[in-house]
Amino acid sequence: MRWTSIAALLPIVALAHPAAAGTIRGRVHLPPAPRAAEAANAYPGNAHAMPGMHAPPRGLPADAVVSVERIPAAAESALARAAAGAAAPQLAQKDQAFVPRVLAVATGGAVDFPNQDPIYHNVFSLSSVRRFDLGKYPKGSSRRVTFPRAGLVNVYCDIHASMEAFILVLPNHAFTRPSPAGGFALPELPAGRYELRVWHPDFGTTSTTVDVPATGDAVVEAGW
């Protein structure tokens, strides 16, 4: 595991209010992608199976979730207010796969599960964090699930065994997903010391302590 943390302090500017804040930004570096497991369709030859289905690639930087373990209550209230008007994220069933493979939501957040395939799908989870079964539904239909507890939720389709997705439910809104190249920037946070975590479905979790300056960036290079 390799971490390099650099606090890049910019010139301090006098602020009109005490909301001085800095940004944690950087890049996630991953090892070579693991070989995808061969998952057979649970119903080979079934009329509801789609030809040409391929398992989603593994080891992608964009499948990581970068988050801060704890933030001040005032900062969380501000981030929650900013997110309040946003549409619920979607975990779609498309091309006989879940898209995206990974979603992150804050506790109390909801996720929509639209079926965009011309076949029936089922969405369920047996995870202790949030157990649910949405039944089978056709193209154009959608279901919604709310996630009141933090933790990892594994999502499956009981018609197509190769379909799998991950919903990481986080205790606050200080999180982000990296770009395809691995770059990321978290929301601004008050100056202070924070525990930064990077989770990936193929590589697990790594963490480090980051000092956020009153203004400017804390630059972090993360790797396993």
Can you list the positions of beta strands (E) in the chain? 2-9, 21-29, 65-68, 92-94, 97-99, 102-106, 109-114, 121-125, 132-137, 142-147, 151-156, 164-170, 175-176, 183-185, 189-190, 192-200, 204-212, 216-223
Phi/psi at 75 (5° precision)? -65, -40
Cα–Cα distances (Å) from 223 to 5, 26, 183, 207, in that order, read 12, 11, 12, 10
Q: What's the rounded Cα separation, in Å, for the pair 54 and 39?
A: 10
The residue that leads in pLDDT, 54 or 26, is 26
pLDDT tens, residue by residue, 153-166 = 999 998 888 899 99
> Among the residues of the chain, which ranges form H helices?
73-83
Query: What pLDDT sits at residue 159?
Result: 87
Q: Are strands 216-223 and 2-9 parallel, antiparallel or unpaired?
A: antiparallel
The residue that leads in pLDDT, 91 or 4, is 91
> Among the residues of 50-156, which ranges form H helices?
73-83
Q: Among 75, 133, 62, which Cα is nearest to 106's?
A: 75
Query: What pLDDT sits at residue 10?
Result: 29
Which residues, 6+ apart, have CB-to-CB distance to 84 below 8 Å?
none
Determine the CATH number of domain 61-223. 2.60.40.420
Q: Is the pTM of this model over 0.75?
A: yes
pLDDT tens, residue by residue, 93-149 = 999 999 999 999 999 999 999 999 999 999 999 999 999 999 999 999 999 999 999
pLDDT tens, residue by residue, 36-75 = 554 444 444 444 555 555 677 899 999 999 999 999 999 9
